[in-house]
Amino acid sequence: MNTLINQTQSIIHQKINEVLETYPHHPYQQIFAHPDHRQKLVAYVLNRIPSIYTSIDITSHEFALASPTAILVNAETTIHRGISQFLRGQFLQQEVPSIGDPSLKLDLVR
């Protein structure tokens, strides 16, 4: 029996983690450590890149997933663009904590 697997979302989560590691901790990594903001970035990227689906035989214990090359071609650029747009957006400008904000640890989830 075959089932269809969407590989795109897991690849994008991994790629966002890699891209965010190249940004300074404040404010970039802090903002996108918040689950709601991270989810908005994931949705932004997923809406702008092609998805990769793989059909696998779920009765078999061995299967190979397709190469994510098609996703990764534009994913990194799209992630950078999404980060930039979110930081320029009004909704985040009001939520960016300052470095010395004592409530920072309570507001952000790792």
pLDDT score for 109: 39
- Nearest alpha-carbon partner for 52 in 12, 18, 79: 12
For the chain, the farthest-separated pair of C-alpha atoms sits apart, in whole angstroms, at 56
Over 70: is that where the pLDDT of 3 sits?
yes
pLDDT score for 82: 94
Domain ranges of the chain: 2-107
Residue of 107 and 95 predicted with greater confidence: 95
Inter-CA distances, 92 with 13, 17, 95, Å: 20, 19, 5
C-alpha count within 13 angstroms, C-beta hemisphere, residue 48: 18
Q: 16: pLDDT confidence band, cut at 50, 70 and 90? A: very high
Over 50: is that where the pLDDT of 110 sits?
no
pLDDT score for 78: 93
The whole-model pTM stands at 0.71
What does the DSSP assignment read for the chain? -EEEEE-HHHHHHHHHHHHHTTS-IIIIIHHTTSHHHHHHHHHHHHTTS---EEEEETTSS---PPPTHHHHHHHHHHHHHHHHHHHHSHHHHTT---TT-TTHHHH---
Q: What is the pLDDT of residues 24-78, one digit of tens each?
A: 998 889 999 999 999 999 999 999 998 888 888 777 766 666 666 756 778 999 9
Mean pLDDT of the chain: 79
Over 90: is that where the pLDDT of 103 sits?
no
